[in-house]
C-alpha cells in the first residue's frame, strides 16, 4: 500500500503539491483525479523516489521508495509510456529492467504476452504506435509482479478498445489483491474504473472518498421527464414537494423526488408523459462543483494562495 | 499474499545494476557504430601517420619516437570514446529511460557507479585493444629496426602503450560523467570536445605553456612518449593529472545526479 503524509513539493516559488495526505489500499482501484497541472504527476514521481519531497513523506509498504529492497518487485509504475530508448527492442528494454531486480527472464516473455505484444518483442520501441507504447509501459509496470501499481494517465491517446482493455486490466489487478493507483483527468473514465477517489486541485487534497459517496454527496440525483404539458406537470410536482427545472431537448428535471414517486404522481394526476428516466448525478458535475469551490477558496486571500495558483505540474 | 518471486538475495545491488547497464550498452546499435568508428578511425590515422614517417633517409630519424608516432590515431579514439561515454547517460535523459532506470535502481550513486564501471570497463578494453593494435600496425609499417629500439620489452615502450590505453579508459569515464552532469547529448559532446581539442588550442595562445596540462597533450606528449620531450610533463605527472581530472569530473557528475531529480 501507499501512504502519503503531509507531502509538499516546491519547485522554486511554485508549490506543486501542498500538504497532501492520503492512502492507497490493496484490493481496490484508487483513482487520482485532478485537472491538468494539479500535481498528480509530481505526487506519483515523488512516490517513486524520482522527485525528492520538500517536506512530508511518501511511503510504499511502509518505506520510502529508495529504501525498498527490490523496488520493481514491490512497485510497478507506468509514469511515461515514452520513457524508453527508441532504438532498443521491447524485449531488450524489459530484459535490462529484469536484471536490475533479479527478475527471471521468463517473466519478460510472460508480461509481453499479458499485454499482447509477443509478436513485436523484437521490434524497436521507437516504432511502436501510441497504443502499443501504452501497452508496453504496462508490461514494464507488471514485470516484477508487484503488489503496488501506479499508472499515470494510462488511457491517454488510446482508442475505445484500448481504454476498455486498460480498465479491465486495472480492475483485474485490484481483484487479485493489489493496490492500484491510477491518475486521470478524465472523470468519466474514473467513474467506470475506480472504487475510491483521491481528488486534488492545485496540489491540495479536495476529497478522499469512494466514487459512490463522491457523486452522492456532491451532485444530487434527478428524474428526467418529457411531457407535452409542462405547466400542469410542474404544478403537480411542486404540490408534491419537488422541484422542476427546464433542461435541454424540451425535457424537465425533477429534483427531490424518486423516479417511483414521480411515476405515481403522474398516474394519480392523470398526466401524459413520454419519457421518465432516473438520472444519476455525474461524477463530472460533482468534480466541477468541488474544484470550483477549491478555486474560490484559494483566490480568497493571501499571497500564498497566489503562489499556489502559479504552481505548475512540472510536465515531463 | 505474496507477489514477488521466491528468490531472496537480500536486496538489489551493484551486481544487478552492472549487469543491466552492460546489457543496455550493447543492446543499441549506435554503440556498435561508435565502437566501429573508434577502431577504424584510430587505425586509419595511425596508418597514415606511420606511412608518412616511413622510408626516409637515416638522418631524418634523429630524435624520432616510433612508438609515439604509432599512437597518432588515438586522437580519433579519444574523441569517439568520450562520445560513447557521454551518450550512455544523455540518451537516457533524452529518451526518458532515466526514469525507469532510476525506478529500478533508486539509489542514485549505485546507479551512477554501475554505469561508470561498465563504461570504464568497455573504454579500457577498447583503449588497450587500440593501443596494442596501433603499436602492431606501426611496426608493420615502420619496421622494427629503428632507433631507439621499440619492442615491447625495450625501456618505456610497454609503459607508453599500456598507459595510453588506460587514458582512453579514463576519457570514456570523463565523457560519461560529463553526460551525467549535462544531460543533453549536444551539450555534453560540445563540452568534451572543447576540453580535449579547444582548450589546448586556446592555451597555446596564452603565456605560461599551460597547454601541456590538458588531457590530449598529456597523452600525446607525455604518456605515449618514449623519448622524453622538453616542455612537457613527465609520464608519471601526466598520469596523476589525468586521474585527478577524471575524479573531479566524476565527482561533479555524482553531485548533479544525486541532487537534481531526473
Residues B53-83 pLDDT 10s: 988 888 888 889 999 999 999 999 999 999 9
For the stretch B107-128, pLDDT in tens is: 999 999 999 999 999 999 999 9
Residue with the bigger pLDDT between B232 and A281: it is B232
Mutate to test the interface with A, among B30, B104, B110, B257 (most CBs of A within 10 A): B104
pLDDT of B255 > 50? The answer is yes
Our CA-based measurement puts residue A236 at a distance from the nearest CA of chain B, in whole angstroms, of 58
- Nearest-CB residue to A48 (from B9, B97, B103): B103
Task: Flag if A96 and B20 touch (Cβ within 8 Å).
Answer: yes
Long-range CB pairs of A235-244, under 8 A, 24+ apart, other chains included? A236/A265, A236/A266, A236/A269, A236/A271, A237/A262, A237/A265, A240/A265
Q: Report the percentage of chain B scoring pLDDT > 90.
A: 80
Long-range contacts, A232-236 (Cβ 8 Å, 24+): A232/A269, A232/A271, A233/A266, A233/A271, A233/A273, A236/A265, A236/A266, A236/A269, A236/A271
What pLDDT, on the 0 to 100 scale, is given for residue B145?
Answer: 79
The runs of H, that is alpha helices, within B73-198 are 74-95, 97-104, 108-142, 157-182, 185-193
pTM of the model: 0.84
pLDDT at residue A308, as a whole number: 37
Asked if A80's CB is within 8 angstroms of B5's CB, the reply is no
Average pLDDT over all residues of chain B: 92
Would you call B12 and A101 a contact, using CB atoms and an 8 Å cutoff? yes
Which one of B4, B7, B28 has the shortest CB-CB distance to A87? B28
Kindly list the residues from chain B whose CB atom is less than 8 angstroms away from the CB atom of residue A127: none
Please judge whether B16 and A99 are an interchain contact, meaning their C-beta atoms are less than 8 angstroms apart: yes
Residue B2 has pLDDT above 50, yes or no: no
How far apart, in whole angstroms, are the C-alpha atoms of residue A208 and residue A197? 6
ipTM over the 0.90 cut-off: no
Write out residues in chain A with pLDDT < 70, as ranges. 216-220, 281-286, 289-290, 292-316
**How far is C-alpha B17 from the chain's CA centre?**
22
Residue A293 is predicted with a pLDDT of 59
Residue B4 or residue A4, greater confidence = A4
Q: Is the pLDDT of residue B239 over 60?
A: yes
Amino acid at each position: 500500500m501507499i501512504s502519503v503524509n503531509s507531502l509538499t513539493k516546491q519547485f522554486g516559488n511554485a508549490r506543486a503539491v501542498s500538504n497532501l495526505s492520503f492512502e492507497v489500499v490493496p484490493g481496490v482501484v484508487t483513482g487520482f483525479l485532478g485537472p491538468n497541472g494539479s500535481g498528480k504527476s509530481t505526487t506519483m514521481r515523488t512516490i517513486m523516489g524520482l522527485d525528492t519531497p520538500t517536506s512530508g513523506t511518501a511511503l510504499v509498504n511502509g518505506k520510502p521508495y529508495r529504501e525498498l529492497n527490490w523496488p520493481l518487485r514491490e512497485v510497478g509504475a507506468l509514469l511515461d509510456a515514452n520513457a524508453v530508448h527508441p532504438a532498443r527492442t521491447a524485449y531488450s528494454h524489459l530484459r535490462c529492467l529484469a536484471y536490475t531486480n533479479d527478475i527471471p527472464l521468463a517473466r519478460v516473455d510472460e508480461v509481453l504476452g499479458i499485454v499482447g505484444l509477443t509478436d513485436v518483442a523484437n521490434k524497436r520501441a521507437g516504432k511502436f504506435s501510441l497504443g502499443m507504447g501504452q501497452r508496453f509501459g504496462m508490461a514494464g509496470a507488471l514485470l516484477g509482479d508487484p503488489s503496488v501499481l501506479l499508472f499515470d494517465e494510462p488511457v491517454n491517446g488510446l482508442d475505445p478498445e484500448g481504454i476498455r482493455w486498460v480498465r479491465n486490466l486495472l480492475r483485474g489487478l485490484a481483484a487479485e489483491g493489489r493496490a492500484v493507483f491510477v491518475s486521470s483527468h478524465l472523470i468519466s473514465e474514473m467513474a467506470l474504473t475506480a472504487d475510491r477517489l483521491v481528488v486534488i486541485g492545485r496540489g491540495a487534497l479536495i476529497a478522499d472518498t469512494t466514487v459512490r459517496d463522491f457523486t452522492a454527496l456532491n451532485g444530487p440525483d434527478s428524474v428526467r421527464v418529457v411531457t407535452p404539458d409542462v405547466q400542469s406537470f410542474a404544478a403537480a410536482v411542486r404540490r408534491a414537494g419537488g422541484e422542476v427545472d427546464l433542461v435541454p431537448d424540451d425535457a424537465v428535471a425533477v429534483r427531490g423526488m424518486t423516479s417511483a414517486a414521480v411515476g405515481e404522481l403522474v398516474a394519480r394526476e392523470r398526466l401524459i408523459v413520454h419519457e421518465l428516466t432516473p438520472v444519476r448525478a455525474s461524477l463530472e458535475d460533482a468534480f466541477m462543483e468541488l474544484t470550483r469551490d477549491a478555486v474560490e477558496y484559494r483566490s480568497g486571500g493571501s499571497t500564498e494562495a497566489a503562489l499556489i495558483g502559479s504552481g505548475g505540474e512540472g510536465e515531463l | 499474499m505474496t507477489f514477488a518471486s521466491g528468490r531472496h538475495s537480500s536486496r538489489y545491488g551493484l551486481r544487478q545494476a552492472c549487469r543491466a547497464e552492460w546489457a543496455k550498452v550493447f543492446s543499441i546499435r549506435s554503440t556498435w557504430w561508435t565502437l566501429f568508428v573508434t577502431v577504424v578511425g584510430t587505425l586509419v590515422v595511425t596508418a597514415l601517420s606511420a606511412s608518412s614517417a616511413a622510408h626516409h633517409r637515416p638522418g631524418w630519424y634523429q630524435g624520432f619516437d616510433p612508438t609515439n608516432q604509432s599512437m597518432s590515431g588515438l586522437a580519433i579514439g579519444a574523441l569517439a570514446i568520450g562520445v560513447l561515454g557521454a551518450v550512455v547517460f544523455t540518451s537516457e535523459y533524452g529518451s526518458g529511460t532515466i526514469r525507469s532506470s532510476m525506478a529500478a535502481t533508486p539509489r542514485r550513486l549505485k546507479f551512477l557507479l554501475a554505469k561508470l564501471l561498465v563504461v570504464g570497463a568497455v573504454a579500457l578494453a577498447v583503449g588497450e585493444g587500440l593501443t596494442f593494435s596501433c603499436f602492431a600496425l606501426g611496426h608493420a609499417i615502420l619496421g622494427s629496426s629503428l632507433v631507439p629500439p621499440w619492442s615491447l620489452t625495450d625501456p618505456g615502450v610497454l609503459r607508453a602503450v599500456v598507459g595510453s590505453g588506460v587514458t582512453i579508459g579514463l576519457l570514456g569515464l570523463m565523457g560519461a560523467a560529463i553526460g551525467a552532469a549535462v544531460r543533453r547529448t549536444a551539450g555534453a559532446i560540445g563540452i568534451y570536445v572543447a576540453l580535449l581539442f579547444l582548450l589546448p588550442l586556446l592555451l597555446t595562445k596564452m603565456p605560461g605553456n599551460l597547454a601541456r596540462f590538458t588531457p590530449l597533450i598529456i597523452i600525446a606528449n607525455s604518456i605515449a612518449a618514449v623519448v622524453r620531450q622538453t616542455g612537457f610533463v613527465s609520464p608519471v605527472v601526466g598520469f596523476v593529472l589525468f586521474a585527478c581530472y577524471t575524479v573531479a569530473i566524476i565527482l561533479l557528475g555524482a553531485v548533479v545526479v544525486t541532487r537534481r531529480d531526473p
